[in-house]
Structure 1
């Protein structure tokens, strides 16, 4: 059996953990995840999804504050793992930890490396209008997604692709690719291939501020942005000093002549002019309210007509 330590934190990582745990070729000796954090209005301590999954499967959990301490190094070394598997762990893994397992550290990255190194590859692919992206299994090194490549699979992007739908595609195809790749790597059937640095691109860590709409952009860029940021960081604008979240839009079949950001209402439908075309707002969420379709929004907020969003 391949003795495995799994490093991961969010719900996105759980299908990968479950796939390894279900395969008889692997022994999951520990799941390493972030410490429990306060969440919700009651600030109750909440366990990471991978911890919940690990405990349900009877797998030991290790939640260090940092991997840079000698205590963490000693604890991880004592696990005597053949491989560390890392996906969405959320912390930098130092070299002395990377050097511990016999096979090395294997990482899952949701892009076709070396394109979109960094923390927002799925959002970047959708926002840039790509028609194809993928999943890469790679060796982890000290750089940011710079390790040698092991395997990949292509994923087509639909015209209406969102972050949520692309996440599901990765969850459906990534776990099996990960399991098969590690087996072949352990058997000596894969030779890690260095990345082509001349083709490398980098994407940034997104913050909530990145979701603010600039209405002077072309309509197609705003439409892609709403789809790319659905879930995180979300897309929003401001009206009357309050934040207005935007969950779904479409490019209108007409072009208005109002200044960018100006709202108009036609046949109980809500439109905003951009630099080159007009966007229809299909689903919105006023501050402190649940998401709602545009017609429901207009029943309570018809005063938005003629306003300028910013």
Structure 2
């Protein structure tokens, strides 16, 4: 029998959220219901697929609610009927109106993937890598009607190395987030939380990613291009145009010196495809042509050497 007293609703959708739900279940927290987005078509057959959170909830016989919106009277009545003490929101994907935030006794808390107030918004992990931040983390926040503006309840930090991609940071936060969450829930139950107001003057916004912004701009310095290659993984993935063909750039390294114009292919051999930038150059070592699997630069050049002739300027292809 659980010694945890709070009745908790969990709201989340992707794998990141599912990891937090699994941790709560494994540590015997009382999850009385799970909210997740409606099933979406996926795969070749475009059949409706349940979210990662729904799968975990069903495995543990936890009731699942999948409203299209939480703004209708019907959805709000259903939420209130659970008579929850607390709602935990992790990458849910639906906006919670004030009535939903106020429904549980202790309101709603959120696991946000940044060190608030830095990187409020939709893509905090990616923006932290793209900007070259030295650290990130998770902030457990008391939700309010603003966009990630609520009081901070607990912060856990982790380093960002110059090898990290957004995908690897996602995995790091997936490890530290669940423990930070349960620690916060325990503090709420014990009445020992120490909310800290965010300094709005220090706020930055992590705007939603688009496919277009992942097109490599060779007029940027090499350090920024290399960050983009790491920051846009796993989505939308940095890409460039080679001989009129869209090619994803998966791995690269910085070459500190270049005297060639930005965008010019300096060399192409088994060690990499080196492209000049505004400052320095980038040596591409792994690529993925459209419709193909990721491949080493050696395999790429073996079949497509004419795409990467030294002296070619990629800025011409980009326009």
TM-score range, shorter chain: over 0.9
Q: TM-score, normalised by structure 2?
A: 0.93
| 1:308 corresponds to 2:313 | yes
Give the match's secondary structure for 1:227.
helix
Q: Is the 8 A contact 1:185 1:191 kept in 2?
A: no
| Distance in 2, Cα, partners of 1:249 & 1:173 | 28
Instruction: State the aligned residue count.
Output: 308
| 1:255 corresponds to 2:258 | yes
1:192-223 CA-partner distances (Å, limit 9, x unpaired): 22111121111201111121111100000000
| 1:21 corresponds to 2:25 | yes
| Distance in 2, Cα, partners of 1:34 & 1:92 | 11
Q: Is the 8 A contact 1:163 1:228 kept in 2?
A: yes
| 1:3 corresponds to 2:14 | no
| Distance in 2, Cα, partners of 1:32 & 1:70 | 16
Within 5 A, what are the aligned runs for 1:127-276? Answer: 127-252=130-255, 254-257=257-260, 259-268=261-270, 269-276=272-279
| Distance in 1, Cα, partners of 2:258 & 2:301 | 21
Structure 1 residue aligned with 2:106: 103
1:264-310 CA-partner distances (Å, limit 9, x unpaired): 43443311111111111111110111111111110111011143332
| Distance in 1, Cα, partners of 2:246 & 2:92 | 31
Give the match's secondary structure for 1:84.
strand
| Distance in 2, Cα, partners of 1:91 & 1:106 | 14
Q: Is the 8 A contact 2:257 2:279 kept in 1?
A: no
Within 5 A, what are the aligned runs for 1:45-60? Answer: 45-60=48-63
Aligned mate of 2:284, from 281, 296, 301? 281
In structure 1, stretches of 5+ residues that fail to align are none
| Distance in 2, Cα, partners of 1:253 & 1:152 | 36
Q: TM-score, normalised by structure 1?
A: 0.96
Q: Is the 8 A contact 1:108 1:138 kept in 2?
A: yes
